Amino acid sequence: MKVITGKKIVSLMLGSAIAVGALTGCGANTEESVLDKVTKAGVIHVGTANNNPPMNYLDDDGNWTGFDVDLSQAIADELGVKLERVVVNNKTRISYLANGTVDMVVSNLSHTRSRDDEIDFVEPAYLWTGKIAYAKKGQFDELTDLAGKRIAVDQGSNAYIAIQQAIEEANGEAPDIQSFQSNAECFLALKQGKVDAFTQDSVIIAGVAGKEGVDYEAISGIYSPGLYSIGVPSNDSKWRDKLSYVLQDLMRNGKYDEIYEKWFGEDGMYPVDPSAKPVLNEKAFGEDELYVWPD
Amino acid sequence: MNYDFDWSLVLSGQYLHWIIEGLKYSVCLMVLSSVLAVVIGVLVTFGTLSQNRVVRFIFESYIELCRNIPTLLWLLFFYYVFPELFPESITRELNASTSLNFWSAIAGLSLSSSGYISEIVRGGIMAVPKEQIAVSYSLGHSRLQIWRYVIWPQAIRNCFPPLVSRIIHNVKNTSLAMALSVHEIIWATQQIESITFRGLEVTIISTFFFLFINYIMAFSARLVEKRLMRSVN
């Protein structure tokens, strides 16, 4: 067997490090707006996950479906370009934007400050939901009861930080957070008693639990807002504005409502109460006035 | 390449703590599962060498099960399914344990590797020429003596190189434990990436960690191999 010398090892290691860097580092081009790139190519690359029902998931026939899927399709139609989907997960969705793999991310992405440091978000947030802690009925009364308990989160969800903050602000003992690779695994762990609670955005918990949700409940309502927004690469205001206009146009022309009703409306697949629509304050603006900038 | 490396962020505070914890967990997983895999593997080998057909069949089926099911599935099996096989009180007890994920990972990894290791050891034993054993018998040595002085030393020499490469494989497989939320180095990598989005820095750290461990192993294995060969000459 040929002996590999120390020098060779070092050069091998350097080589592989550079290769990894080249693969993930390039592509982020801030010179040209993504808008120009997308219109020129006639294709928009959209990052969406496929394991967060009802936002994005594979149905029984294996078709990619969900609110995010319908919304991104409507946006591509409005832009008049072909839509090409890229699978992301809750961990890769930010880095894919940062390195230019995708032009936008529509994937149950909550607008948070730490994410805003890396990417930008389209206005407004397209679904106003929030985090709940989910546990067996009657086991816990308040969020602070979860102090020191085992809590499941989907790795990559900001629920990891949100639940710790919520409990620590109430001076509770830090919980033991276990992060799983999907929301379905989180719910399975909850069902089997491997964790005491599972925390995630209320719409996703409703989607994951489905019919089995009857034995479970949210502990004392929403504790942290989950404002789902469309993620776009940082520092590209032309592209970000364009998408904001397109999203708001969809809200104006009723296409947004159509999609919303299909999924979360009273007769929809996952009725949400109270509404998760991005609407303005009812007292000041009247009922169901959507968050849209005037011309 | 227009990626700005920010090492200070990932090498401070909570993130550094996760990385160090991750390295500790990884090393524990590597050592424990490898040792267990070798022990189980050798024991199973003796089972497959049994004269009894039923015993042989059982151990051979075990090997086939180990080798033909992906390691990840074994891990998931021990974590999600195994505790459900017991009466309810034990199931509840097991599920309530906070170290269930760690031990499920150990069980899955060592079980999966033990099948391969058993085949490797068996190969090493079978490669000892039959004539030597026959001669030893005719010289009046006992079964035990033959194992101790004739078969075993040669078998170890025969199976050492493939054994080492299998253990290196097992060392790399330990990263699968992240699927069970065991806080090993790849879990830490992903966790830090999902919060800081500095994926490249932490991935480089874990890459070098695995390179380092496996290089050390391969290097020391070569030294041992040389010694083993020298003792023949």
Residue B144 sits at the chain A interface (C-beta within 8 Å)? no
* Positions in chain B short of pLDDT 50: none
Q: From the CA of A193, how many Å to the nearest CA of chain B?
A: 6
**Where do the structural domains in chain B lie, given as residue ranges?**
26-178+204-232
* Chain A residue with Cα closest to B95: A194
d(CA B106, CA B89): 23
Under 8 Å CB-to-CB from B15, ≥6 apart: which residues?
B9, B192, B196, B202
Q: What is the 3-state secondary structure (H, E, C) of A260-290?
A: HHHHHCCCCCCCCCCCCCCECCHHHHCCCCE
Q: Which two tokens stand for residue A52?
A: 């967060």
- Which of the following CATH numbers is that of domain A34-126+229-292: 3.40.50.1820, 3.30.300.30, 2.120.10.30, 3.40.190.10? 3.40.190.10
- The enclosing H or E element of A207 equals helix A202-209
User: With bands split at pLDDT 50, 70 and 90, how would you rate the model's confidence at A188?
Assistant: very high
**Where do the structural domains in chain A lie, given as residue ranges?**
34-126+229-292, 129-225
Residue B211 sits at the chain A interface (C-beta within 8 Å)? yes
Across the interface, do B2 and A28 touch by the CB < 8 Å criterion? yes
Class for domain B26-178+204-232, per CATH? mainly alpha
pTM comes to: 0.83
Backbone dihedral region for residue A280 (phi beyond 0: left; psi -120 to 50: alpha; all else: beta): beta
- What is the C-alpha R_g of chain B? 22
What average pLDDT does this structure show over A222-251?
A: 94
d(CA B100, CA A55): 31
For residue B222, which residues of chain A lie inside 8 Å, CB to CB? 1, 3
pLDDT digits (tens, 9 = 90+) for A55-75: 999 999 999 999 999 999 999
Q: Among A167-171, A225-229, A251-255, B70-74, name the one with the lowest average pLDDT.
A: A167-171
Residue B84 sits at the chain A interface (C-beta within 8 Å)? yes
pLDDT for A12 equals 55
The domain made up of A129-225 has a fold known as D-Maltodextrin-Binding Protein; domain 2 (3.40.190)
DSSP state of A3: P
Residue A191 sits at the chain B interface (C-beta within 8 Å)? no
- Average pLDDT of chain A? 88
pLDDT for A15 equals 55
Contact (Cβ atoms closer than 8 angstroms) between residue B40 and residue B106? no
Contact (Cβ atoms closer than 8 angstroms) between residue B81 and residue B107? no
Q: Is the ipTM of this complex over 0.90?
A: no
| Secondary structure (3-state) at A61 | coil
Across the interface, do A21 and B95 touch by the CB < 8 Å criterion? no
The amino acid that residue A157 corresponds to is S
Contact (Cβ atoms closer than 8 angstroms) between residue B63 and residue B119? yes
What average pLDDT does this structure show over A237-263?
A: 95
pLDDT for A98 equals 85
Asked whether this chain's domains A34-126+229-292 and A129-225 adopt the same fold, the reply is yes
pLDDT for B195 equals 84
Q: Residue A27 pLDDT more than 50? A: no
Q: Which of B2, B98, B197 sits opposite A176 (nearest CB)?
A: B98
- Can you name the residues that pair with A200 across neighbouring β-strands? A132
